[in-house]
Amino acid sequence: SEETSMKGALIGCGFFAQNQLHAWRDIDGAEIVALCDRDPERLAATAETFGITRTYTDAAAMFAAEELDFVDIATTVQSHRPLVEMAAGAGCHVICQKPFAETMDDARAMVAAVEAAGRTLMVHENFRWQSAVRKAIETVRSGAIGTPFFGRVAFRSGYDVYSGQPYLAEGERFIIEDLGIHILDISRALFGDVERIAATTKRVNPKIRGEDVATMLLAHEGGVTSVVDCSYATRRTPETFPQSLLEIDGAEGTLRLDAGYSLVVQTGGNETVTDVSPPILPWAERPWHNIQESVRIIQQHFVACIDAGTQPETSGADNLKTLALVQAAYRSAETGETVRLSGI
Ligand code: NAD
Ligand code: 89V
């Protein structure tokens, strides 16, 4: 009901936040009552689209004026630490977009700040929540293919991400920090924490500054080896953006998540093929519907965790391990060495 619904604010009314605001409208137990963006035009346009009347161009002014249970931070990475610390100071539960931080120091400081406030911190690390990927994770966790020993998590595309998100072409770092972070997180969700990683990177597209290809080899603590490969320079059909494809070998069988959201499980001479296509929500648009659906799922997970008093699976503390993989991958690509996660 209205009385028990958590009241939240969203900061950063840009490209991706529109999905988050659509999803909040579908979610029971929480509502967005205020918006903040330092760009007054984006703020006004978003306020109009979603009928939210309390608007601020300054986050500190918003925290001073509003009584909020939670804040949803949808800005780019540079502003995350000051905004998360401000939110913790105001006693709010926090969701923060990925990449959570550019350095481990910033990430650890944010986790500590929200912990000290006794509140919940979730990183909007949504790829492991995509329903097709989730189905694969649940199948592996159920033991259907026995103990896994090999995995490949692949994301290869030629989709023009730069027109919607121009900053992706401008940073010194690109694909591991922006997209590889999701794919590394899926590998962690499937195979557990990582002992060491080796990586190569390359820039193929001459019009961007950072790397648009990365190939990573992970040795997981539990004994699985995984290959995590990402590219925004792959011209092929079918164009699979934004699908993550999986190939997993277990002691008793194999699992694949193939292009077109086809989940294939082979065990004991039998094969099952399941169509795990995500629903297209009323406000969603192909090919983004896969990601858009996961936004609703992860935001609902946040509300459910606060209700239940449990930690989100993709908590800030959990995300430190995914961020450490990002840092370690860049270090490996730079030095040519295998990097141990214990040193990050
Ligand atoms: P964007 O640049 O379109 O939007 C960011 C907005 O934040 C801008 O309107 C900007 O004015 C505002 N802003 C920045 N600093 C602010 C501050 N201190 N106070 C108030 N407003 C501020 O960026 P985007 O493409 O929407 O991406 C935002 C974040 O979402 C990025 O970190 C990106 O990596 C992430 N993202 C996640 C997914 C996903 O699937 N999880 C997909 C796309 C983008
Ligand atoms: O999902 C993301 O984080 C996006 C994109 C799919 C373009 O990499 O930035």
| Residue 123 Cβ < 6 Å to ligand 2 | no
Domains and CATH numbers, the chain: 6-119 (3.40.50.720), 128-285+321-343 (3.30.360.10)
Task: Choose the residue to mutate in 97, 124, 165 for probing ligand 2, maximizing ligand atoms within 8 Å of C-beta.
Answer: 165
- Residue written as token pair 């297209």: 280
Coil vs helix vs strand at 125: coil
| Residue 179 Cβ < 6 Å to ligand 2 | yes
DSSP code of residue 304: H
CA of 105 to the centre of ligand 1 (A): 21
Residue 4's pLDDT is 79
| Residue 161 Cβ < 6 Å to ligand 2 | yes
Residue 3's pLDDT is 57
Q: What is the rounded distance in angstroms from the CA atom of residue 316 to the CA atom of residue 326?
A: 15
CA of 3 to the centre of ligand 1 (A): 30
Q: Which of 265, 282, 266 is nearest to 274 (CA)?
A: 265
| Residue 175 Cβ < 6 Å to ligand 2 | no
Q: Phi, psi (5° rounding) for residue 58?
A: -130, 125
* Closest ligand 2 atom to 232 CA: 8
| Residue 242 Cβ < 6 Å to ligand 2 | yes
Q: Which of 107, 64, 124 is nearest to 89 (CA)?
A: 64
| Residue 21 Cβ < 6 Å to ligand 2 | no
User: What is the 3 state secondary structure string of 321-337?
Assistant: HHHHHHHHHHHHHHHCC
Q: Which of 292, 296, 314 is nearest to 305 (CA)?
A: 314
* Closest ligand 2 atom to 291 CA: 1
- Please give the chain's pLDDT, 344 residues, in tens: 455 799 999 999 999 999 999 999 999 999 999 999 999 999 999 999 999 999 999 999 999 999 999 999 999 999 999 999 999 999 999 999 999 999 999 999 999 999 999 999 999 999 999 999 999 999 999 999 999 999 999 999 999 999 999 999 999 999 999 999 999 999 999 999 999 999 999 999 999 999 999 999 999 999 999 999 999 999 999 999 999 999 999 999 999 999 999 999 999 999 999 999 999 999 999 999 999 999 999 999 999 999 999 999 999 999 999 999 999 999 999 999 999 999 99
Q: What is the rounded distance in angstroms from the CA atom of residue 257 to the CA atom of residue 153?
A: 9
CA of 336 to the centre of ligand 2 (A): 27
